[in-house]
Structure 1
Amino acid sequence: MPSEPVEKVYIEILKKIKSIISEDGLQPGDKLPSERELTDRLCASRSSVREAFRALELLGLIETRRGEGTFIREATGHRLVEVLASFILNDTKAQEDLAETRHIIIKDCVELTCSRISDEETEHLEVLAREAESVPEAARKFEKLFVQSGRNHLLYRLYVELNGYDTAFTAENSLTSEDCQAILKALRSKDSMTIADILKKQTMN
């Protein structure tokens, strides 16, 4: 019987490591099991586990600290995304595509939030909107909670990454307390178009 393709073994190990992270309830900053432990738990070769670790480290998902072990990194620390961004932002057409893609992502996020947000989340947004009148950081928390309330983690991550690499995004055109109140008003009537327009303005000069 032919042996399993290397690519398939490699992908399976990555999936199993992801499952272990979930099963063990590990969070960013937590230490992962050692290569030896994972080799036993996954019934895989030490070299295969090591290769999987290297791939995860390249993506910025984990980091190895000498003498301490391997730890899970924050999701925003993806070095691969940063490398790609350095090329993207040097190309005018790519920047235009980035803004266009961001607008598409915003539209999808807003529509999901309008249909999925809970009463508790809405109340939390109202509190943050009031706080934003005197604390600018509250507006950023408002935006984050609003997008997360759509309950699509992938779209949320894309939204965060695209915001982070849009050269037109600055503190001067981030959400204001008035924007937060306008979003809440539109949210009550499920006016996703108005909300999307407010969020899109962050990329305009």
Structure 2
Amino acid sequence: MNQSKRYLDIVKEIRDMIRQEKIRPGDRIPSERELAEKLQVGRSTLREALRSLELLGLIETRRGEGTFLSDHRNHKLVEVLSTFILQDNQSRKDVWETRLMHEISAIQSICQNKALAELRIWDSFKKRLEGESFQRADFVRELMVLSGNRLSLKIWFLLHQYSGSPYSHEVSEDEKDLMLPILDALENQQEEKAIHAFKSWSEWIEKRRMLNGDNS
């Protein structure tokens, strides 16, 4: 396992470790250093995974004491999300970044699957992009579906709603040039280019939302 290991895999391994070691709600979990050594993963990548788990309410960090398993009866992520997610008023920035993590993970999965590059869906997206109406949500949701991770898709739906549904609008003329590089990179399985282009588009959407008082 190396630094580039996807954080969703790390989340799964942390959950497996909690179950195998019979860590109870309220118990302290291993430190960041201990987890990094145990899972053989880079500290920055591990930190992303822990941040997501804390955002979902599965763990809580107490200053000067460590990180503890939250006191919830069911630690299946979907159930926690549907009943508990973000009731402690997490910042929009945290939600936005966590949602983006799932989207980038989906892009990585797509770029690593040669069969997906041969699908006609990329040409279909380009034609719809050239047309009069193309919904942002249709595009991103399809990426999540194509990744094959149903749990990530369910979490994404909820995070998308909580972050103000940034993809609920039609693609504007201004952003079409930002989306075409994403489609080209996905079709050609150019992972780094696809991620870079997607992040640029996401940042463009957020800046526009800020300028328009979150009504764009």
Q: How would you bin the TM-score normalised by the shorter chain? A: 0.3 to 0.5
Larger Rg, first or second structure (1 or 2): 1
TM-score, length basis structure 1: 0.47
